Amino acid sequence: MCGRQPKAHQPAGPPPETTAIIFNHQRHRAALLLAERMLSIR
């Protein structure tokens, strides 16, 4: 799930660093929401 993908080709747009930061932020928020949901079910 969290495996690193080899940088074979870079996307033609924003730098990969920015895309990675945004992707990690969205995944982090999703993980927080999931944790809150699991805790609230308890």
Identify the pLDDT of residue 5.
59
Which residues, given as ranges, of the chain have pLDDT below 50?
A: none
pLDDT at 10: 53
- State pTM to two decimals: 0.43
Retrieve residue 8's tokens: 């074979």
Comparing CA positions, the residue from 13, 36, 7 lying closest to residue 22 is 13
DSSP code per residue over the chain: --PPPP-SS--SSS-HHHHHHHHHHHHHHHHHHHHHHHHHH-
Q: For 17, phi and psi rounded to 5 degrees?
A: -65, -45
- Tell me what pLDDT residue 19 has: 76
Q: Residue 6's pLDDT is what?
A: 55
